[in-house]
Each structure stands twice: as structure tokens, then as C-alpha cells.
Amino acid sequence: MPKRSKSSQRWLKEHFDDRFVTRAQQEGYRSRAVFKLEEIDRRERLLRRGLRVVDLGAAPGGWSQYAADRVGPTGRVVASDILSMDPIPGVDIVTGDFREQAVLEGILAALGDERADLVLSDMAPNLSGTDAVDQPRAIHLCELALDLALRVLKPNGAFLVKLFQGQGSDEYLRELRLRFRRVAVRKPQASRPRSREVYVLARELRDV
């Protein structure tokens, strides 16, 4: 077996010493990322019974698990990812790239007759370690998520997206403020301090 690099060893130690990893395992969630959504939800009152939610880049499914529990049986959660996911009670899973028409139609069909109250995106690119490559990829995913949100959200709907601060992030925030009346940037405790990730919550679509 090849010897792990020092950075890999450091990441593994950080991961297994992480209290959010431990909590996720204890509480039956698929990833520690669920606690980012939980904190934002608790602060912003995003999720409640009966809402329709689209979760983009959903694998392995932690956010969808949490959302399904919060919206209950009268709500609906549609999870989409290019990666396959194990079934989650109360969640409709649409596998594939949502830029493709068939996948988009699958999301719309799963939503049913009504539009979404909330679109979630915790998407991130596969990182190369080179910021000049990774940052544009990350911003592009945010732009794709926004495009989808604009297509499926109700006029009073909300959009929560992971954004990596850096080149292009200010321009993206400006675009959100053109599209939505209220935009707030949040850094949950479960986001590692050294990470440049923040979560942007946009509410109340403008009629543009």
C-alpha cells in the first residue's frame, strides 16, 4: 500500500477527530454536511412541514435526509446528483446531470404540479488543488444551480447555495442580488475554519 502524504494524513486525522463527523455517525446521517444545513435552518427557519424542496448535488444524501424529516409526509424532497444514491425514505431521487433535458424533466415530474419552495445546492467540483482551475469550476456550478432555481422556484421561494470565496464570487453575489430581494451570507460552525466556503441564502425572487 502506498504511503499517505502528510497532507492526506492530516486530513484523515482532522476528519476522524471532527465532532460533526462523530455526531453524523451517531445520529444516522450520511455526512457531516447536514449540520451546516441544520444551523442555517435553525437560524433562518427555512424548512417546515409541507414544503417542496429540490436538493442539487445531493449525494451522499445528508441534506436530503434532514430536509425530508423537516418537511414531513405532506412535503416533498427531490434529490438530484450525477452520482447514484441509496434510497432515502420520503425522497425522490433523480440521477443524472440536471443540465440534460431528460434529467430536468425528471426533477419537474417529481415536483408535481407545484413549483419548489426551496432549492438547495451543496455542490462542489472535484478539486485539483490549483485555485485557478478549481475556483472557476466552483463558480460555474453555482451559476448552474441558480439557473435551475430560477426555472423551478415559486415567486416567494428561497435558494441556498454553497459559494467558495475568491475570483468570481463577488460577481455571483451581485447577480443574486439582482434576482432576489434578500441575500445573506452565512458561515456555519460545521464549515471548517480554513475553508473558503460560505453559504448564500437568497429569498424573494424579483420579477425581472
Residues 139, 169 contacting (CB under 8 angstroms): yes
pTM of the model: 0.86
**Mean pLDDT of all residues in 145-168:** 95
**Mean pLDDT of all residues in 133-140:** 94
> Is 107 part of a structural domain of the chain?
yes
> With bands split at pLDDT 50, 70 and 90, how would you rate the model's confidence at 157?
very high
pLDDT at 111: 93
The model's pLDDT over 10-30, given as tens digits with 9 standing for 90+, comes to: 544 454 456 667 776 666 565
Residues 169, 163 contacting (CB under 8 angstroms): yes
> Is 103 part of a structural domain of the chain?
yes
Q: What is the DSSP-derived secondary structure letter of residue 166?
A: S
Residues at the binding site for S-adenosyl-L-methionine are 61, 63, 81, 97, 122
Range of the domain at 176: 6-205
pLDDT at 11: 41
Annotated catalytic residues are: 162
> Is 48 part of a structural domain of the chain?
yes
The model's pLDDT over 61-72, given as tens digits with 9 standing for 90+, comes to: 999 999 999 999
**Which runs of E-coded beta strand occur in 122-193?**
153-164, 180-186
> Is 1 part of a structural domain of the chain?
no
> Is 78 part of a structural domain of the chain?
yes
Domain count, the chain: 1
Residues at the binding site are 61, 63, 81, 97, 122
- Rounded (10°) CA dihedral 178, 193, 15, 63: -30
CATH number, domain of 18, equals 3.40.50.150
> Is 118 part of a structural domain of the chain?
yes
> Is 131 part of a structural domain of the chain?
yes
> Is 169 part of a structural domain of the chain?
yes
Residues 197, 138 contacting (CB under 8 angstroms): no
